[in-house]
């Protein structure tokens, strides 16, 4: 192995470690960007290649921009407080019922708006609900994080990684549901059962009920309408096999500007409140993946896929399991890019590709940096004054993820 290859792998590994460990409490994006810049400065990655890698993430940047604008508009105009009060009152004073209600809501949001929407839009509302209910917020917040990945292959739009893995050529919706409906149900049910059991002590007892529900302002109503229309737009674009980034960004911008104009408030403050660091984080990850590709990683992965294609059930399970755990080392978005490129070269059977998708979607429930959704979730709870360490998340994920992964794999193999 040559020195440039060793150096590239070393920088990529250190950058990933920085994203996971956040030394000196610096934001995750600093470490990803620092690794990308170092690769260019040392001549390990030509500047045009780095620019091309960043450009590959354009649809993701646009998608996240739209979602963050929708979320911040809703938060600013009281939508989350209103939703929180409604959830607490429907829970009837039961922490367990509140947990079930939030988990079910997370399934719906993830299915029809994507796992990133669950992290960005739902998490602040859940924190507000926990505060109003005077309940420990962590079990409810964990529900948001885990369901964001556990339900992320119900529909093609449920996770941007789905679009990445299939390279923009999604199976028809009927074929998709035939392959993933049962595995999704297994994943969602097992994840719920495991999390409910692990958090049983903190979910026991009663919580506040009959809290005063604030009046939803006109701005809040328009923000809700914007989120609903965006969900319909995403479903339509997915059915037409179109990219989701630009429509989502335009919907977010239109909602933010429309609500700001209606309430006669400057959108500048709203924009300043958004945690924009996630965009350079994603860009840095794309550069790191491109640098690894240049060392021949994808070619090796493609060769491995060709080998396992002789026994797709066994080989697909092994490969998808490796991908599931590997997604936590490099984040599932770049892992999905690697897998997608390898699939394009190897052309493995459909069963293998489906198993890989389950692995790249569900595997990140192991750690807090496994997917973009969980990183967004972490940023959302930090804004509320909460934090979850890598180890604290791992204690939950080390039980929930393998069991749910085994259940989803079993369900997919049962379909045949």
Three-state DSSP string of 242-268? CCCHHHHHHHHHHHHHHHHHHHCCCHH
Within the chain, what is the greatest distance between any pair of CA atoms?
Answer: 67
- Taking Cα atoms as reference points, which of 293, 315, 292 lies closest to residue 305? 315
- Taking Cα atoms as reference points, which of 348, 338, 343 lies closest to residue 311? 348
> Is the distance from CB of 15 to CB of 369 less than 8 angstroms?
no
Length of the chain: 416
Q: Is 269 exposed, middle or buried (0-12, 13-18, 19+ CB in 10 A)?
A: exposed
Tens-place pLDDT, residues 131-181: 888 888 899 999 999 999 999 999 887 887 787 777 656 677 778 889 999
Q: Residue-wise pLDDT tens for the chain (416 aa)?
A: 688 888 998 998 888 788 777 788 788 889 999 999 999 999 999 999 999 999 988 888 898 899 889 888 988 888 877 877 788 788 888 889 889 989 998 898 888 878 887 887 788 888 888 888 888 889 999 999 999 999 999 988 788 778 777 765 667 777 888 999 999 999 999 999 999 999 999 998 887 777 777 888 999 999 999 988 988 888 788 777 777 889 989 999 999 999 999 999 889 988 988 888 889 988 998 898 889 888 888 888 888 888 888 888 999 999 999 999 988 877 787 788 788 888 888 889 989 999 999 999 999 999 988 888 898 898 889 888 888 988 999 999 999 999 999 999 999 999 87
Residue 78 pLDDT: 84
Residue 1 pLDDT: 66
Residue 16 pLDDT: 79
Q: Tell me the domain boundaries of the chain.
A: 3-415
> Is the distance from CB of 231 to CB of 112 less than 8 angstroms?
yes
Residue 41 pLDDT: 95
- Taking Cα atoms as reference points, which of 20, 21, 37 lies closest to residue 291? 37
Q: Which two tokens stand for residue 54?
A: 């960043």
Residue 356 pLDDT: 95
Average pLDDT, the chain: 88
60-81 burial, b for 16+ CB within 10 Å, e for fewer?
bbbbbbbbbbbbbbbbbbbbbb
What is the rounded CA–CA span in Å between residue 182 and residue 185? 5
Q: Is 40 exposed, middle or buried (0-12, 13-18, 19+ CB in 10 A)?
A: middle
CA angle 258, 261, 267 (to 5 degrees): 85
3-state secondary structure of 25: helix
């Amino acid at each position: 192995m040559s020195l440039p290859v060793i150096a590239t792998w070393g920088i990529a590994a250190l950058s990933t470690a920085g994203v996971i460990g956040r030394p000196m409490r610096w934001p995750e994006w600093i470490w990803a960007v620092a690794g990308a810049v170092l690769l260019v400065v040392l001549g390990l990655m030509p500047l045009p290649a780095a620019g091309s890698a960043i450009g590959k993430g354009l649809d993701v940047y646009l998608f996240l921009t739209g979602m963050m604008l929708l979320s911040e508009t809703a938060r600013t105009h009281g939508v989350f407080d209103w939703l929180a009060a409604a959830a607490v009152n429907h829970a009837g004073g039961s922490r367990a019922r509140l947990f079930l209600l939030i988990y079910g809501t997370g399934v719906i949001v993830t299915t029809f708006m994507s796992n990133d929407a669950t992290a960005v839009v739902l998490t602040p509302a859940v924190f507000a609900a926990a505060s109003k209910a005077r309940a420990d917020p962590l079990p409810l917040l964990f529900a948001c994080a885990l369901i964001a990945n556990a339900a992320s292959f119900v529909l093609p739009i449920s996770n941007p990684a789905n679009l990445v893995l299939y390279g923009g050529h999604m199976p028809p919706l009927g074929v998709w549901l035939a392959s993933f409906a049962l595995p999704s149900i297994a994943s969602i049910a097992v994840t719920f059962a495991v999390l409910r059991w692990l958090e049983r002590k903190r979910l026991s007892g009663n919580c506040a009920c009959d809290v005063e529900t604030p009046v939803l302002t006109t701005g809040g109503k328009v923000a809700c309408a914007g989120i609903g229309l965006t969900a319909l737009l995403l479903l339509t674009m997915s059915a037409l096999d179109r990219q989701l980034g630009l429509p989502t960004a335009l919907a977010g911008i239109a909602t933010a500007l429309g609500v700001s104009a209606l309430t006669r408030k400057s959108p500048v403050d709203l924009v300043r409140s958004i945690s924009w660091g996630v965009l350079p984080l994603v860009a840095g990850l794309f550069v790191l993946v491109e640098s690894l590709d240049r060392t021949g990683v994808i070619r090796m992965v493609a060769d491995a896929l060709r080998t396992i294609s002789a026994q797709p059930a066994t080989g697909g399970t092994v490969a998808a399991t490796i991908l599931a755990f590997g997604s936590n080392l490099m984040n599932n978005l770049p892992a999905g890019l690697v897998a997608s490129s390898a699939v394009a070269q190897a052309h493995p059977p459909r069963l293998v590709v489906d198993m890989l998708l389950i692995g790249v979607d569900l595997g990140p429930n192991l750690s807090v940096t496994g997917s973009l959704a969980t990183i967004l979730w972490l940023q959302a709870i930090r804004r509320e004054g909460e934090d979850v360490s890598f180890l604290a998340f791992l204690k939950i994920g080390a039980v929930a993820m393998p069991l749910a992964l085994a259940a989803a794999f079993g369900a997919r193999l049962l379909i045949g």
